[in-house]
A and B are shown apart, each in its own frame.
Chain A
Amino acid sequence: MKQWISLVLCACLAVSLCGLPAYAADDRIEVTEDISVSADYDWTRFAGKNVTLNVYNWGEYISNGSDESVDVVSAFEQLTGIRLNYTTFDSNETMYAKIKSGAANYDVIVPSDYMVAKMAAEGMLAELDLENIPNLALIDEEYKNRDFDPGNRYSVPYMWCTTGIIYNTTMVETAPQRWADLWNEEYAGSILMFNNSRDAYAIGAFKLGQSINPDTVEEMAAVMDELKAQKPLVQAYVMDEIFDKMEGGEAAVGVYYSGDAITMIDDNPDLAWVFPEEGVNLSIDNLCVPATSQNREAAEMFINYLCEVDVGVANCDFIGYSTPSSAVREQLDEELSESPIAYPADEVLANAQVFTNLSDEINDELDVQWSEMKSYNEGGNAYAMLFLLAAGVLLAGFNIWRKLRKKMRNDY
């Protein structure tokens, strides 16, 4: 009987403890002097359980305490008692290859729009339990429910940016206005293009007024022909090398992402940015949980944490990309929150297109044509291979002949 009473008492105690607000009247928990998070969330449920989250993010894509920034990573560890194992990648495709190979186990990844669609279609993403991510409400409607993930079943927007043209005002007579200007002889030899097939394709598609997500191979071939025609004018196909080349005045006109353009213009005030008239590519990077994750709930907690206003502000300050949350934008320095590059006018965004996943057939064909375009200035494909085979056979024949001759000599 006594046991029963004590059990009931224990139960009452437990219920009353749970019922009590874990944190007093103030609805914010101050983690560090820069970061306080909503108290209306059970942040500590994994404390002391020795949980480690493997986070796989783009390089330089979180405020991690370097350059005297706010360290949101250690603040999360302090808040929740969850350890973060943070690693980085440099392209969606690298990240995809690593997850696909199954060689590594991650809990939170940050794919871009089209990669979310691709991974979701292949069953590589876990469906999110939005109950655990109440801060999704802080994200603006226009970044939710996009074609690549209707209803945000798999992804929560993290950052976004657009593409556009960056140019050196001292090196061009007339400023570029449109994507089509990248085919202008005036800039011959000083144009920098994207060295990745999807982004480069989008530019050709905008010029022709087509969708940046081709449905048919014919549609794609037309755009690739444009890129081939542009090749003699292009100085180089680059990715991050563009920072040095634009800042150093090596090239006059380049195409890149708005978030990075802000950094470049900071370093070289001669540079200017333009949103081409034909439209821009709006690219949204998203927080997702891979299907193989063993700590989904903790991963969702981390995603929720990244959506907190203070954390978002720290990240935006550090990264320079645009936030999908108005609440975060309002807290930013005016220089950044009112930047016409980071937050373009509505008419620019009205014209923006977002990447979606392409079918395997189109993806394959895109890569074939892309590499063909890049090796295009040398003709005679079929003959070249024949020449190669002939050279190989000749070489082998010569070897055999030498061996035979040597053997005959030795026989004497």
Chain B
Amino acid sequence: MKLNNRKLAAPYLVWMVLFTVVPLLIVVYYAFTNVEGAFTLENLARVGGYGSVFVRSLLLALEATVLCLILAFPVAYFLSRLRASKQHIMLMLVMLPMWMNFLLRTYAWMGLLSVNGPINTLLGFLGLGPYTMLNTAGAVVLGMVYNYVPYMILPLYTSMTKIDASIVEAAQDLGANVRQTLVRILIPLSVPGICTGITMVFVPSVSTFAISRMLGGGANLLIGDLIEMQFLGNSYNLNVGSAMSLVLMVIVLLCMSFTSSFDEDEMEGVM
């Protein structure tokens, strides 16, 4: 059997059809039918009533993505300039939090941010506070940034390791200052990493529900919470829940098409 035999992909193709394509079609079916199974657009119209929740989710996810990008860009750059042996250790440190369960880490933040928590106690020694940090939109964004920042660092780092140090040196030799080097050399050359990073942070942020439940105090409802309520809530409305999921998917697709349009040419081996 030759290694480029297409049949080798068959097991995964079957898997994908069974567990990705078919469920997606079921979601679409439910979104456009009512309880009796007749075609209707009412579900999508009802999703419109939840506009404020969608906007809030998008805004919070956007904030988290921008913060991640700002935090991750310098980290990824310095990582990529380190000696190879050190790079491995530092990369491992970046991934270290991911070895622990996501819910557990978020739960830990609940304790840290609480009014009687360690952060407020420390501030108390300095004569500040106590501040209400938990149960705010800020806490939700913090949770997103904390949980998803590795997904921004890793693709950025990958694309930056490909930037030859001599290119930066050349720019500086030719008289570019720090800002010019950054804007005209480093950022354009790391666009593929930026795009992948944005997608990998934005998409899980916009659909999360555990973070908003734990850090938002249940009052900062996100799309994820809304969808969960339709399936496991009091009203048990699969059709409206599917319509919401569909809208969310369209938003995510739009976002992905936007970012991927930037790097169609440059994209190689990052995703």
Docked CA distance A205–B186 (Å): 61
Q: Does B50 contact A (CB under 8 A)?
A: yes
**Contacts of A196 on B, CB cut-off 8 Å?**
234
Q: A375-B53, A378-B52 are in contact. Are A197 and B214 (CB under 8 A)?
A: no
Segment touching A, from B75-83, B176-184, B253-261 = B253-261
Segment touching A, from B110-118, B142-150, B153-161, B187-195 = B110-118
Q: Tell me whether B261 and A399 are in contact (CB under 8 A).
A: yes
Q: Tell me whether A250 and B114 are in contact (CB under 8 A).
A: yes
Q: Tell me whether A378 and B233 are in contact (CB under 8 A).
A: no
Q: Tell me whether A236 and B229 are in contact (CB under 8 A).
A: no
Shortest CB-to-CB span from B242 to chain A, Å, is 14
**Which of A97, A249, A385 lies in contact with B231, CB distance below 8 A?**
A97
**Contacts of A375 on B, CB cut-off 8 Å?**
50, 52-53, 56, 221
Q: How would you classify the secondary structure of chain A's contact residues: helix, strand, loop or mixed? A: helix
Q: Tell me whether B115 and A93 are in contact (CB under 8 A).
A: no
**Contacts of A97 on B, CB cut-off 8 Å?**
231-232, 236
Shortest CB-to-CB span from B117 to chain A, Å, is 8
**Contacts of A93 on B, CB cut-off 8 Å?**
232-234, 236
Q: Does B48 contact A (CB under 8 A)?
A: yes
Q: Tell me whether B114 and A248 are in contact (CB under 8 A).
A: yes
How many residues on chain B are close to A (CB under 8 Å)?
43
Closest to B265 in A: A406
Q: Does A371 contact B (CB under 8 A)?
A: yes
| Interface members, chain A 396-412 (any B CB < 8 Å) | 396, 398-399, 402-403
**Contacts of B217 on A, CB cut-off 8 Å?**
235-238
Which among A94, A250, A371, A372 has the greatest number of chain B C-beta atoms within 10 A? A371
**Which of B54, B58, B218 lies in contact with A238, CB distance below 8 A?**
B218
Docked CA distance A195–B135 (Å): 13
Segment touching B, from A124-132, A282-290, A362-370 = A362-370
Q: A93-B233, A96-B236, A197-B234 are in contact. Are A236 and B257 (CB under 8 A)?
A: no
**Contacts of A379 on B, CB cut-off 8 Å?**
52
Q: Does B237 contact A (CB under 8 A)?
A: yes
Q: Tell me whether B237 and A367 are in contact (CB under 8 A).
A: yes
**Which of B46, B219, B254 lies in contact with A392, CB distance below 8 A?**
B254
Q: Does A329 contact B (CB under 8 A)?
A: no
Interface string of A167-197 (1 = CB under 8 A from B): 0000000000000000000000100000111
| Interface members, chain B 194-215 (any A CB < 8 Å) | 213-214
Q: Does A144 contact B (CB under 8 A)?
A: no
Q: Does B20 contact A (CB under 8 A)?
A: no
Shortest CB-to-CB span from A347 to chain B, Å, is 31
Shortest CB-to-CB span from B198 to chain A, Å, is 13
Q: Tell me whether B52 and A381 are in contact (CB under 8 A).
A: yes
Q: Tell me whether A94 and B52 are in contact (CB under 8 A).
A: no
**Contacts of A380 on B, CB cut-off 8 Å?**
52
Q: Tell me whether B226 and A371 are in contact (CB under 8 A).
A: yes
Docked CA distance A64–B171 (Å): 70
Q: Tell me whether A250 and B115 are in contact (CB under 8 A).
A: yes
**Contacts of A378 on B, CB cut-off 8 Å?**
52, 55-56
| Interface members, chain B 132-148 (any A CB < 8 Å) | 132, 134-135
Q: Does A388 contact B (CB under 8 A)?
A: yes
Docked CA distance A238–B213 (Å): 8
Docked CA distance A378–B222 (Å): 12
Q: Tell me whether B218 and A237 are in contact (CB under 8 A).
A: yes
Q: Does A384 contact B (CB under 8 A)?
A: yes
Q: Does A28 contact B (CB under 8 A)?
A: no
Q: Tell me whether A395 and B218 are in contact (CB under 8 A).
A: no
Q: Tell me whether B135 and A367 are in contact (CB under 8 A).
A: no
Docked CA distance A396–B116 (Å): 47
**Which of A189, A197, A377 lies in contact with B233, CB distance below 8 A?**
A197
Q: Tell me whether B48 and A374 are in contact (CB under 8 A).
A: no
- Assign chain A's interface to a size class: 35 or more
| Interface members, chain A 84-138 (any B CB < 8 Å) | 91, 93-94, 96-97, 100
Which among A96, A366, A378 has the greatest number of chain B C-beta atoms within 10 A? A378
**Contacts of A385 on B, CB cut-off 8 Å?**
48, 51, 54-55
Q: Does B85 contact A (CB under 8 A)?
A: no
Q: Does A231 contact B (CB under 8 A)?
A: yes
**Contacts of B246 on A, CB cut-off 8 Å?**
none
**Which of B115, B233, B261 lies in contact with A367, CB distance below 8 A?**
B233
**Contacts of B237 on A, CB cut-off 8 Å?**
364, 367
Docked CA distance A383–B231 (Å): 27
**Contacts of A153 on B, CB cut-off 8 Å?**
none
Q: Does A198 contact B (CB under 8 A)?
A: yes
Docked CA distance A388–B62 (Å): 13
Shortest CB-to-CB span from A111 to chain B, Å, is 13
Q: Tell me whether A91 and B235 are in contact (CB under 8 A).
A: no
Shortest CB-to-CB span from A237 to chain B, Å, is 3
Q: Does A387 contact B (CB under 8 A)?
A: yes
Docked CA distance A268–B157 (Å): 49
Shortest CB-to-CB span from A379 to chain B, Å, is 8
Docked CA distance A207–B82 (Å): 64
**Contacts of B251 on A, CB cut-off 8 Å?**
392
Shortest CB-to-CB span from A115 to chain B, Å, is 10
**Contacts of B269 on A, CB cut-off 8 Å?**
none
Q: Tell me whether B50 and A371 are in contact (CB under 8 A).
A: yes
**Which of B52, B114, B218 lies in contact with A384, CB distance below 8 A?**
B52
Shortest CB-to-CB span from A277 to chain B, Å, is 27
Closest to B264 in A: A406
Q: Tell me whether B54 and A374 are in contact (CB under 8 A).
A: no
Shortest CB-to-CB span from A196 to chain B, Å, is 7
**Contacts of B52 on A, CB cut-off 8 Å?**
375, 378-381, 384
Closest to A248 in B: B116
**Contacts of B232 on A, CB cut-off 8 Å?**
91, 93-94, 97
- The contact sample of 6 A-B pairs, CB cut-off 8 A, is A241-B110, A245-B114, A364-B235, A384-B52, A385-B54, A388-B54
State the B residues within 8 Å of A (CB): 46, 48-56, 58, 110-111, 114-116, 132, 134-135, 213-214, 217-219, 221, 225-226, 229-237, 250-251, 254-255, 257-258, 261
New contact pairs (12) apart from A93-B233, A388-B58, CB-CB < 8 Å: A91-B232, A93-B232, A236-B135, A236-B218, A244-B110, A367-B234, A367-B235, A370-B234, A372-B49, A380-B52, A381-B51, A398-B258
